[in-house]
Amino acid sequence: MHDVRELIALGPEAVRRLARRDHPLDLDALEAAARRRTAAEERVSRLRAELKAAARGGAPGEEGRAAARALRDRVQEAEAEARTASAELTGALRTIPNLPLDEVPDGRSEKEAVEVRRGGPPVVAGEVAVPHHAETGERLGLFDTARAARLSGSRFHLGRGRGARLERAVGDFLLDLHVERHGYTEYSVPFLVNRETMTGTGQLPKFEEDLFATRVGDRELFLIPTAEVPLTNLVAGETLTDAELPLALTARTPCFRSEAGSHGRDTRGLLRLHQFEKVELVRVCAAADAAAQLELMVGHVEECLRQLELSYRVVLLPAGDMGFSARMTYDVEVWLPGGGAFREISSVSDCGTFQARRAGIRHRDAAGRKGPAATLNGSALPVGRTVAALLEQGWRPDGSVVLPDALVPYTGFRTLLPGGRTA
């Protein structure tokens, strides 16, 4: 969330920067809402001072008590008006996305992303017709799409046998890499969180239609769309010192997304499911350190793909294609030869102080100065999309799939062969 004073101070510059995200900022309405809140708060302060003075030297007897009651009623009325004005302003601010950094390119879709670099084995395209990972998974007996649909409907996945083993291996490998080599602290987090937690990272109110929710009695909870939500909110409402930062947090969780608005896209396979597993990275740092932390996190994602011997590229997203809370995002895209295209496997975002303001995460420096901290997050990696890339890049013309060396200690096999065999 923004500091309204900073947005107003930026004036037309804030309007220009948000226009790059296709968000029309009504600066006049925002200023009017801010003035209403200030005026209401000033009235509360004035009336409270009058009530305090009356308590010290007001008229005696029934006349004095009546005057005090009337003044207390006015104070309560003013407090209610102040709460309403504050809620209206906060509600307006919560709908405004983060301001893109100047180095973020213009554009509204992934087609306008700027390629930064490539990594992993060189991409070889067009020599052999590689099958889609869904076809390979069914042929090798790794997936059971029909039973998944019978259990839950479309866009759910069921791994079986060696397929389930491969998914577990990928998740374990990724967690070990981030904990043992990259220095993240692993957490086991709740998969259901409350509205306040969802609001803290920006999922609410903007993306409520994309969330799965449950209600038992008067208790409302949301299934997490990513472990970013509970991990970032672990320190909500806290003030962190230089000695505690940066925080490096990771968790492997299921993620639940309705994928509203994506009907007809990627309906086959593992790319766009209502439920999937993902290893998430979150870092919390001093605001001045955010840019360096972003580059570090992208490096951690790239190391996953290098270890898994997968071809990939890094792109810088344009302003109009970034997530609501991000001010700068790198997408890491893996090569999927079955579709002949690079596809996103991770988004690593610098949110600046945007989420920290919403969640009340503060930083106190060595001089005692306080301000909002910065938060960053990234996938490293989603298990399903990683398995999809392994099945397509590791496919061989005899129908087998060869896995990278890094996974062998986790799977117990290197090659997936037809007929349920391994080698």
Q: Which of 20, 37, 357, 385 is catalytic?
A: 385
* Secondary structure class of 254 (helix, strand, coil): strand
Predicted pLDDT of residue 128: 79
Q: Where in the chain is the domain with CATH 1.10.287.40?
A: 4-93
Q: Catalytic: 277?
A: no
> Taking Cα atoms as reference points, which of 230, 252, 250 lies closest to residue 183?
250
Distance CA 223, CA 255 (A): 8
Distance CA 304, CA 120 (A): 10
Q: For the sheet with 185-186, list strands across it.
A: 114-119, 312-316, 328-336, 341-350, 374-382, 275-285, 247-256, 185-186
Q: Catalytic: 257?
A: yes
Which tokens sit at 56?
């010290």
Which tokens sit at 247?
């925080």
Burial of 150 (0-12, 13-18, 19+ CB in 10 A): exposed
Q: Catalytic: 347?
A: yes
Q: Which of 20, 257, 313, 327 is catalytic?
A: 257
Predicted pLDDT of residue 265: 66
Q: Which of 31, 138, 186, 344 is catalytic?
A: 344
Tell me which residues of the chain have a pLDDT lower than 50: none
Q: In DSSP terms, which residues pair with 117 in a beta bridge?
A: 314
Q: Catalytic: 109?
A: no
Predicted pLDDT of residue 55: 76
Residue 160: CB atoms within 10 A of its CB come to: 14
Q: Which architecture, in CATH terms, is 110-422?
A: 2-Layer Sandwich (3.30)
Q: Catalytic: 333?
A: no
Q: Which of 325, 346, 347, 349 is catalytic?
A: 347
Q: Which of 48, 272, 362, 414 is catalytic?
A: 272
Does the model's pTM come out above 0.85? yes
The reply to whether CATH 3.20.20.100 applies to domain 4-93 is: no
pLDDT tens per residue, range 266-284: 678 999 999 999 999 999 9
Q: Where in the chain is the domain with CATH 3.30.930.10?
A: 110-422
